[in-house]
Chain A
Amino acid sequence: MQFILDLMPGLATTFGLWLLILLIGLPGGLALGYLLGLGSRTLRVLGLVIVNIARGFPGLVTLYFVYSGLPELGVFLTNFQAVVAAFAFTTMGYTAEIFHSAIHSVPRAQTEAATALGLKAWKIQVKVVLPQAIRSVVPTLLGFTVIVLQATALGYSVGVRELTGLSYNLGSISFQALSYMLAAGLIYLVLCVVISQLADWMQSRSAGKRVKRVKHSPRKSHPTTTPTPVA
């Protein structure tokens, strides 16, 4: 128990990293997702290159690239900033795909209906398409935040004293390395389970809503072709 309490400052840092990564990465992912769906070929190719690098590089490589590579270009980041920048970039790459397909999955008829009502193009996106797209990916994104939480553990490698880094430090000072690491693992586990449960709960709630909506809609399918439910 003492081990867990000792790690609380680290937990705070982990939370800080986590929030900042998501705050930068998710809007970035949305923007990148739009870029992927744009007509302009150059922009789309650029988007794809970014996405593939963000997804194809190991997290550790991206982190080192930001932390020890960017200074060559005169960009000096603290280790904390480097972790945020690296994983915000990765998050952007991964969520761009999620957003892109979510935007695509909103039926065309929705845009058409809005256009017929005389809405401006950007208003259609903001008021009609985006709310539907985002609602459909919220559970996925919540699940994704678990991944980000776990990724912050790599902060250890550049000396950030988040959960893993702090427990490593405390462990080597006190010669209780295993106990501190297990305590850190336990904290991660609890956080992940809580977030996952939340995602599940939201998922089942939105699924429930969808069922209700179907019930209200008039039956369109031809009665003779629909397999009747098993009696």
Chain B
Amino acid sequence: MNVSMEKQPRMTETVQSAPRGQEAAEQPAVQVSNLGKSFGAVEVLRDIELEISTGEVITLIGPSGSGKSTLIRCMNLLETPSSGTLQVMGETLVQDGKILPKRSQLQEFRAKVGMVFQSFNLFPHLSALENISLAQVHTLGRRRAEADERSAQLLDSVGLGQRMNHMPAHLSGGQQQRVAIARALAMDPDVMLFDEPTSAIDPELRVEVLKVMRDLAQSGMTMAIVTHELKFARMISDQVLFLADGTIVERGTPDELFGAPQHERTHQFLAAIEETKL
């Protein structure tokens, strides 16, 4: 993956995140404290403490099964935490493992947190444009024409202006994921969550998705990313968290964590990844 900051972006358009109010700047965009999650008797997450400031980009790395995907899914309540507290944009959503808002309010909240899935999850029966417009019309109540205009603009900014009437099945994995990112951005989210956004994409096509994400980060979007692309993580993040066995083992700036890992477990993980690159 050769997306480096030094390389000039080929895309002329940059992805613009929604303008944000200044008042949010003081409190963290996402605050997770003492969060735990169990599936039946299996404890997947425990004692998670995490804070994402507005405009900050954090990445979660770690071995498969470490709980990083579950953690990111907890942040927009696709999984309900079993314990702990979750605050997003100053609003308390979960307290002591109980979801506070009502279902209708929850829908509103979810629209403010964009989610990009590993398997894209585009709606196969809708065109790229319709995929992006759907929730704008039905969740945000935008007029159809207005929504379509915004969708077209977003597709342009992810470099897919020519593909707006394509069906997902006619797009490559990299293109599908870019549509999915545009779909999430169309809701003008305050935070974007990425759950292994490039894992299901052929290696040579990952770079186009990573570039979009990099542009998004540069525009000041608050982002949380689960990824196996360590080089990318190192380049894009303000903060990197290493998870193993359901806990955050180590956290720090990319240089700290990749350059001088403190924990033996982190060291092992990074060394193992390094080895596969032979």
Chain A CB within 8 A of B40 CB: no
Interface magnitude class on chain B: 20 to 34
CA distance A231 to B65 in the complex (A): 4
Chain B CB within 8 A of A40 CB: no
Interface magnitude class on chain A: under 10
CB distance from B115 to the nearest CB of A (A): 13
Chain A CB within 8 A of B63 CB: yes
Chain B CB within 8 A of A225 CB: yes
The answer, among B64, B67, B195, B226, for a CB contact under 8 Å with A229, is B64
Which residues of A have CB within 8 Å of B119?
Answer: 227
At the interface, is chain B mostly helix, strand, loop or mixed?
Answer: loop
Scan B197-224; emit 1 where CB is below 8 A from any A CB, else 0.
Answer: 0011011000000000000000000000
Q: Which residue of A lies closest to B67 (CB)?
A: A231
Which residues of B have CB within 8 Å of A229?
Answer: 64-65
A231 touches B200 (CB 8 A): no
Which residues of A have CB within 8 Å of B64?
Answer: 228-229, 231
Which residues of B have CB within 8 Å of A223?
Answer: 276
Chain A CB within 8 A of B69 CB: yes
The answer, among A224, A225, A231, for a CB contact under 8 Å with B69, is A231
Which residues of B have CB within 8 Å of A224?
Answer: 203
CB distance from B254 to the nearest CB of A (A): 20
A228 touches B203 (CB 8 A): no
A228 touches B228 (CB 8 A): yes
Chain B CB within 8 A of A230 CB: yes
CA distance A223 to B64 in the complex (A): 13
A231 touches B203 (CB 8 A): no
CA distance A206 to B24 in the complex (A): 56
